[in-house]
Structure formats: C-alpha cells, structure tokens
Chains A and B, each alone.
Chain A
Amino acid sequence: EPEVTQTPSHQVTQMGQEVILRCVPISNHLYFYWYRQILGQKVEFLVSFYNNEISEKSEIFDDQFSVERPDGSNFTLKIRSTKLEDSAMYFCASSEGDSHGYTFGSGTRLTVV
C-alpha cells in the first residue's frame, strides 16, 4: 500500500535554530498538508498545498513557517527561529483531492531544547 514518508523520525534542535522537515507524499496525490500535534493533544492544521502553492493556512502558520516542493517528490516544512513551544509531532499528509481521505505519514517528533 502506498505510504507517505517523513524524515527524520525525530529531530532535536536548539532554540533559535532552523529546521527542515521532509515528506515524500504518495506519487499520484495532488494535495499536501502539514499538521502538528502537541503531545497527546489535538491535531492542528498548519497548511495545505496544491498546484505548487499554498491553498490554505491556519493562524499558526505565520512568517516563522514556510513550505516548499523543491522537486517532483519532496514536500518540506521549514521552521525558522524555533521556540520551545514548537516542540510537537509534525505530520505530513497527502490526498488525491481536497475532499478525499488524507494519508498521513508517521510523523517527525520535533524537540526544541
């Protein structure tokens, strides 16, 4: 079964540093998403991406965050000047269409120290 792949599985970074979280969506999917989940809590939407541009973003997705599709397969989330409260599990997801089920990756656990 096709999978969404996320790397790394765990990232530890110093406060103030920049991190890039990587995702390889399912190849024939057109919509890509980033969500985050602070330990055991609600799954929060960050951003959706379609046709090489952001289609929707939440209030959380401010200037500290950016997304990119640098090539035909990768989808990245960059977090600049990380803060302690950015520590969370970050999930990438993709879907065939905006009203189709999302396939989630296994997540990247980001720990900011």
Chain B
Amino acid sequence: GQQVMQIPQYQHVQEGEDFTTYCNSSTTLSNIQWYKQRPGGHPVFLIQLVKSGEVKKQKRLTFQFGEAKKNSSLHITATQTTDVGTYFCVRTYKYIFGTGTRLKVLA
C-alpha cells in the first residue's frame, strides 16, 4: 500500500550514544521530510530532502536520502536529553507520515 515504515519503533539510548532511525517507502519518493514531535507536543519540521543520495546536516543531526529515493535515515550523534521525542519521516505525496521512531535518552 502507501505505508511509510520506520524502524526501530522505539529506541532507548544512554546520553552520549548515537541514534539512527530508518524510513522506508514502497514507492519512489519525489522528496522526503523529517519532523520531530516532543512528548505532548506537535510535529515540528526539521528538513526536506529532494535529491537522490542527498546528505544534509543540522548540528548533530545528519539526514540522508537513498540513491533510489525509496529510503531515508536520520542519525543523531552524541544524543542529549533534549533529543527525546518521536521522529517521523513524511512522504509529501499523499501527505503520509511514517510510523515514527520514539527515542528515549537516559541521563
């Protein structure tokens, strides 16, 4: 179908450890967006990737778009407690949110 799957569903890490969430689509994506939702909050736009193989960085966050434009990843280096939340990738075609990865960071 039109699902956008993310793995893992949950991730607990010790503060300072790295974290990666993977986003996979069954269809080729024209672009992919990433959002962060803090507990009890609303999704907040982080970035959009458009080009095949594109890599973008925002401080400790690295976003990558797959060569085939069917997958994407978000990597956080040296997690902090402020990174806690659920990370969603979004396929803008048909406005589909991925299943999300909930990150907990243990101090």
Contacts and interface: CB of A to CB of B under 8 A. Distances in A.
Interface of A: 33, 35, 42-45, 48, 56, 58, 91, 93, 98-107
Contact of B100 (A42, A58, A104): A42
Contact of A99 (B43, B92, B94, B100): B92
B96 A101 contact: no
A100 B47 CA distance: 9
A33 B33 CA distance: 16
B42 A98 contact: no
A35 B97 contact: yes
Given A99-B31, A101-B33, A45 B94 contact: yes
Interface of B: 30-31, 33, 35, 37, 41-45, 47-48, 88, 92, 94-97, 99-100
Given A42-B99, A42-B100, A102 B94 contact: no
Contacts of B31: 99
Nearest to B102: A40
Contacts of B41: 106
A101 B100 CA distance: 17
Contacts of B99: 42
B44 A104 contact: yes
B6 to A, nearest CB: 10
Given A42-B100, A102-B45, A106-B41, 17 more contacts: A33-B95, A35-B95, A42-B97, A42-B99, A43-B37, A43-B43, A43-B97, A44-B97, A45-B94, A45-B95, A45-B97, A98-B92, A99-B30, A99-B92, A102-B33, A102-B35, A107-B42
A16 to B, nearest CB: 28
Contacts of A48: 95
